[in-house]
Amino acid sequence: MAIPVSLIEQATRWRKELHALPELGYQEHQTSRKVAELLREFGLQVHTGLAGTGVVGSLENGPGPTIGFRADMDALPITELGNAEWRSTQPGVMHACGHDGHTAMLLAAAKHLSETRQFSGTVHFVFQPAEENLGGARKMVADGLFELFPMDAIYGLHNWPGLPVGHLAVNSGAMMASLDAFEITLHGRSCHAAMPENGADPIVAAAQLILALQTIPARRLSPLASAVVSITQIAGGEAINVIPENVVLRGTLRCLQGDVRSKVRKMIDEFVTTFTAPMGIEGSIEYLTDYPVTRNNAAEAEKVRDCALALLPAERVHWEVSPSMASEDFACMLDVCPGAYFWIGADGETPSRPLHNAHYDFNDQLIGEGISLWTALAERLLPLR
Contact 301, 172 (CB under 8 A): yes
What is the three-class DSSP state of 81? coil
Contact 151, 141 (CB under 8 A): no
Residue partners of 278: CB distance under 8 A and separation at least 6: none
Contact 176, 273 (CB under 8 A): no
Q: What is the DSSP string of 299-318?
A: HHHHHHHHHHHHHS-GGGEE
Identify any residues that bridge with 121 across adjacent strands, giving them in sequence order. 61
CA distance 365 to 226: 34
Is 97 annotated to bind a ligand? Reply is yes
Residue partners of 268: CB distance under 8 A and separation at least 6: 182, 213, 216, 229, 253, 285
Identify any residues that bridge with 154 across adjacent strands, giving them in sequence order. 68, 339
Q: At what angle do helices 29-41 and 99-116 cross, to 10 degrees?
A: 10
Instruction: Let me know how long the chain is.
Output: 385
Residue 364 DSSP label: G
CA distance 60 to 148: 15
First to last CA, the chain: 18
Q: What is the DSSP string of 50-70?
A: TTTT-EEEEEEESSS-EEEEE
**For the purposes of burial, counting CB atoms within 10 Å of the CB of 286, is it exposed (0-12), middle (13-18) or buried (19 or more)?**
exposed
CA distance 141 to 132: 16
Identify any residues that bridge with 254 across adjacent strands, giving them in sequence order. 228
Contact 369, 3 (CB under 8 A): no
Is 132 annotated to bind a ligand? Reply is yes
CA distance 53 to 64: 29
Could you list the residues known to form a binding site, using ranges.
97, 99, 132, 158, 356
Specify binding-site residues for Mn(2+). 97, 99, 132, 158, 356
